[in-house]
Amino acid sequence: MTQKQIYETLENAISSKSEVMLSARHGMGNLIDGMRFQPYILGDDSFQYPFVWGYLPGNNEYYKFMLSNVVAAKSTAGKYDVREDACYQHAINEDHFGRLAGFDNIYGQAAKHR
């Protein structure tokens, strides 16, 4: 699967609130296959590396994947909504190109000074 196809799949999943099945490299390069993933944010981090951030229901945790580590992303029929505990700490100079509708619990450096 190409990086363009992965990006488009994740972008469509965010706009339709659909779960995806991810295969990604983790740690020392081990492949983790078939993870249920609920994408919330698609963007570039402060080093301009493309990433996707979201919720892993199987692990009950939020996780940020660098898109270069994602090997495959497949759309599923599963739908999801914004979780009440979802909170993203946003870095300076980070760009978001896709965000889950209704998710606005994003804190940047400015929030610390309010």
**Cβ–Cβ under 8 Å, residues 62 and 53:** yes
CA–CA gap between residue 15 and residue 12 (Å, rounded) = 5
Structure tokens that stand for 51 in this block: 């990433």
- In 17-89, alpha helices (H): none
The residues spanned by each domain of the chain are 3-112
Asked whether the predicted pLDDT for residue 90 surpasses 80, the reply is yes
Closest C-alpha among 38, 33, 110, 41 to residue 79: 38
Containing 15, the helix (H) or strand (E) segment is helix 3-16
CA–CA gap between residue 89 and residue 92 (Å, rounded) = 10
- How sure is the predictor about 114, in pLDDT bands with cuts at 50, 70 and 90? very low
Residues pairing with 107 in the sheet: 89
**Cβ–Cβ under 8 Å, residues 43 and 94:** yes
Whole-model pTM over 0.85: yes
- How sure is the predictor about 113, in pLDDT bands with cuts at 50, 70 and 90? very low
Which tens digit of pLDDT belongs to each residue from 35-71? 999 999 999 998 889 999 999 999 999 999 999 999 9
CA–CA gap between residue 44 and residue 41 (Å, rounded) = 10
Q: What is the pLDDT of residue 108?
A: 64
